[in-house]
């Protein structure tokens, strides 16, 4: 049986012969032939399922075409999961990193194919109330586990820069937005003026995921445990409240739209309240509490504006990696408006 791949646009063709030869030398237990299938969705690094005689794997590569300088560093992802996996934290087992562009056209890495469920609907409609309670508690407990890891001890002391994380990130996402700007959005201009001067004091430094949400958690096929946390493209060292407050936004977004839980009957559904989730996170990480959330929500939405604007620019340049890219690009203005609303609640004029 010959190696094969799904039909891909010409610009995304991958030479399976070169890939198979590399896999044979780099991945223990690999045997061909190999077939490659692109996962649908996702706006970051194109991700593929590799099926072979020796088992199934996942391949993540940089997107095709011109990229912003600091974006899509798959070698950072590989370094991180290589450090986390031995600690027992739920990540896929890393196998090998390839920095030779001649193999498939860009840097990529191969990791374990974890069997499980990725759930995008925050209401978890197919679960029992008890299961929903356990799944959300596990979601927060897993985040606390990440934030409690001693990053210095596992060789990640240089994984992020020193200084106030939010100040650095506001600057970063402002630059990313400017680099991909396609039109003037008044609310974005207000946020760029407001956020840098109101950054909260940072109390802790930890490994942060950068995009921690329910659909980046792979739940057991028939249970409530988290088998793997996915998509580490935005990970770094920084303020752990960046992750927790990003997850907490789920409770303030409209229910029935993606992960949103606003207005949910917690007693009837079994979905814990935001107060319960804050309490659990603080208990597990030794915090007295989480400060006012509005500033953090404003920042998190501003960051999403930057991400979606980057997708919009890639559409214009012809490099978007998903059929859902246009929908993401259309979110730029609504997200900016929502971010400014939270900024006003936090005291912006």
pLDDT at residue 7, as a whole number: 42
* pLDDT, mean of residues 88-98: 96
* pLDDT, mean of residues 34-57: 83
Confidence of residue 140 (pLDDT cuts 50, 70, 90): very high
User: pLDDT, tens digit, for every residue of 107-136?
Assistant: 899 999 999 999 999 999 999 999 999 999
* pLDDT, mean of residues 248-258: 89
Out of 11-25, 91-105, 221-235, least confident range: 11-25
Confidence of residue 322 (pLDDT cuts 50, 70, 90): low
Q: Could you tell me which residue, 260 or 329, shows the higher pLDDT?
A: 260
The closest alpha carbon to 104, from 45, 158, 163, belongs to 45
CATH number 3.30.70.2860 given to 117-345? no
Element at 335 (helix H, strand E)? helix 332-345
* pLDDT, mean of residues 148-154: 98
Please tell me if the domain spanning 4-112 has the same topology as the one spanning 117-345. Answer: no
pTM of the predicted protein model: 0.86
> Could you give the 3-state DSSP secondary structure of residue 216?
helix
Confidence of residue 39 (pLDDT cuts 50, 70, 90): confident
Protein fold of 4-112: Phosphorylase Kinase; domain 1 (3.30.200)
User: pLDDT, tens digit, for every residue of 307-320?
Assistant: 999 988 888 887 76
In the predicted model, what is the mean pLDDT of the chain? 90
pLDDT at residue 40, as a whole number: 77
Nearest-5° Cα angle at 289, 283 to 295: 135
Question: Does residue 95 have a pLDDT over 90?
Answer: yes
Element at 58 (helix H, strand E)? strand 55-61
pLDDT at residue 68, as a whole number: 47
User: pLDDT, tens digit, for every residue of 224-248?
Assistant: 999 999 999 889 999 999 999 999 9
State the Cα–Cα distance between residues 13 and 105, nearest whole angstrom: 9
Q: Sheet of 217-219: strands edge to edge?
A: 117-118, 217-219, 226-229
Do the Cβ atoms of 68 and 310 come closer than 8 Å?
Answer: yes
State the Cα–Cα distance between residues 313 and 65, nearest whole angstrom: 12
Boundaries of every domain in the chain? 4-112, 117-345
pLDDT at residue 240, as a whole number: 97
Confidence of residue 11 (pLDDT cuts 50, 70, 90): very low
> Could you give the 3-state DSSP secondary structure of residue 112?
strand
pLDDT at residue 313, as a whole number: 86
Question: Does residue 24 have a pLDDT over 80?
Answer: yes
């Amino acid at each position: 049986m010959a190696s094969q791949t799904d039909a891909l646009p010409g610009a995304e063709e991958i030479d399976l012969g070169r890939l198979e030869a590399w896999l044979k030398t780099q991945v223990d237990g690999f045997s061909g032939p190999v077939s490659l299938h692109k996962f649908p969705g996702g706006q970051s690094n194109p991700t593929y399922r590799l099926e072979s005689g020796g088992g199934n794997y996942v391949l993540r590569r940089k997107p095709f075409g011109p990229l912003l300088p600091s974006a899509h560093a798959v070698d950072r992802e590989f370094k991180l999961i290589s450090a986390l996996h031995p600690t027992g934290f739920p990540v896929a087992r890393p196998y090998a990193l390839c920095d030779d562009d001649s193999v498939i056209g860009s840097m990529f890495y191969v990791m374990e194919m974890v069997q499980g469920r990725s759930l995008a609907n925050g209401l978890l409609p197919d679960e029992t109330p008890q299961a929903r309670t356990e799944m959300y508690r596990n979601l927060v407990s897993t985040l606390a586990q990440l934030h409690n890891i001693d990053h210095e001890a596992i060789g990640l002391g240089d994984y992020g820069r020193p200084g106030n994380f939010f100040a650095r990130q506001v600057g970063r996402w402002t630059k990313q937005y400017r680099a991909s700007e396609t039109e003037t959005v008044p609310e974005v201009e207000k946020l760029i003026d407001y956020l840098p001067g109101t950054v909260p004091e940072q109390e802790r430094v930890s490994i942060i995921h950068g995009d921690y949400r329910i659909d980046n958690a792979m739940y057991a096929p028939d249970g409530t445990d988290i088998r793997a946390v996915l998509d580490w493209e935005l990970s770094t060292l920084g303020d752990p409240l960046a992750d927790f407050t990003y997850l907490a936004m789920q409770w303030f977004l409209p229910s029935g739209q993606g992960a949103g839980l606003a207005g949910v009957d917690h007693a009837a559904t079994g979905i814990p309240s935001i107060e319960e989730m804050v309490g659990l996170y603080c208990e597990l990480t030794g915090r007295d509490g989480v400060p006012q959330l509005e500033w953090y929500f404003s920042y998190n939405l501003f960051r999403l504006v930057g991400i979606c604007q980057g997708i919009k620019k890639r559409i214009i340049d012809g490099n978007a990696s998903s059929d859902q890219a246009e929908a993401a690009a259309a979110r730029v203005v609504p997200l900016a408006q929502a971010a400014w609303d939270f900024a006003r609640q936090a005291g912006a004029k």
